[in-house]
Amino acid sequence: MKNILDCLNWRYAVKKFNSNKKVSNENLEKILQGFTLTASSFNLQPWWIVVVENQELKDKLFEYSYYQEQIKDCSHLLVLCRKTDLSEKLVDDLIDSLVEKSGMKKNNFESYENMMRWFLSRLDDNRKISWAEKQVYIALGNLLDVCACLEIDSCPMEWFDKQKYDEILNLQEKWLSSVLVLPIGYRAEDDKYATIPKHRYDLDDLVIKM
């Protein structure tokens, strides 16, 4: 197993991708499997991921990403979305899937189900959206690390026009809304950001041990 700190030090937010170098299907599959393994509150997984490889589509989205070049030069653009239906359907779907995959009876999940329904019932619409978006940010963090482990470059991005993305990718009709994007691929040899030393606060400035 690779040293996790080496992987995390190797990665950086790539500003210039080598547009000729593509992520293999095998590695893309690993990244997507890694995405599905992200932890979420109650395991409700209120997310989807849209994989954009089509160059025309990437060029169009580039315009609505404040012309950040990573969008058009990356190998694949991952658009991380939250579900728009944050009703108790989230619970219904999860329980159905658990019953199907585990082969166990629905009543085995009764207290878990009730707890989730109670949790959701306490949130108004805005707090539900905020909760779902937080889960998507966890997926982003996980994907950054999965990519780094595979030595695949990426750039986490929240600076894009979400409304336009939703329109262009027809997300609304899929009951989705974009939250974050993650272009993945391989760094260009002359990406000057690759050599900038990583700045982080020291442990003493970040950690309180009690």
Q: Would you call 140 exposed, middle or buried from its count of C-beta atoms within 10 A (0-12, 13-18, 19+)?
A: buried
**SS3 state at 171:** coil
3-state secondary structure 91-137: HHHHHHHHHHHHCCCHHHHHHHHHHHHHHHHCCCHHHHHHHHHHHHH
**Range 66-85, binding ligand FMN (CB under 6 A):** 68
Q: Check residue 158 for interaction with ligand FMN (CB under 6 A).
A: yes
Our CB check for ligand FMN shows the closer of 15 and 21 to be 15
Q: Interacting stretch for ligand FMN, rule CB under 6 A, among 8-16, 45-53, 73-81, 97-105?
A: 8-16
Residue in 158, 183, 159 with CA at minimum distance from that of residue 19: 183
Residue 161: CB minimum distance to ligand FMN, A: 11
- With contact defined as beta carbons under 8 Å apart, do 146 and 34 qualify? yes
Q: Pick the closer one to ligand FMN by CB: 38 or 68.
A: 68
- Is position 198 an interface residue for ligand FMN (rule: CB under 6 A)? yes
Distance separating alpha carbons of residues 192 and 209, to the nearest angstrom: 37
- Alpha carbon distance 126, 91 (integer Å): 18
Q: By C-beta, is 63 or 110 nearer to ligand FMN?
A: 63
* Smallest separation, CB 196 to ligand FMN (Å): 8
Number of residues that bind ligand FMN (CB under 6 A): 10
118 binds ligand FMN (CB under 6 A): no
Which part of the chain contacts ligand FMN (CB under 6 A), choosing from 36-44, 124-132, 149-157, 165-173? 149-157
Eight-class DSSP state of 198: P
Is 68 or 84 the residue whose CB approaches ligand FMN more closely?
A: 68
Does the protein bind ligand FMN through residue 132 (CB under 6 A)?
no
Q: Which residue is nearest to ligand FMN (CB)?
A: 159
| Of the candidates 2, 16, 10, the residue with the CA atom closest to the CA atom of residue 183 | 16
Candidates 156, 168, 174, 194; binder of ligand FMN (CB under 6 A) is 156
Among 4, 6, 13, 43, binds ligand FMN (CB under 6 A): 13
Residues within the interface to ligand FMN (CB under 6 A)? 12-13, 15, 68, 155-159, 198
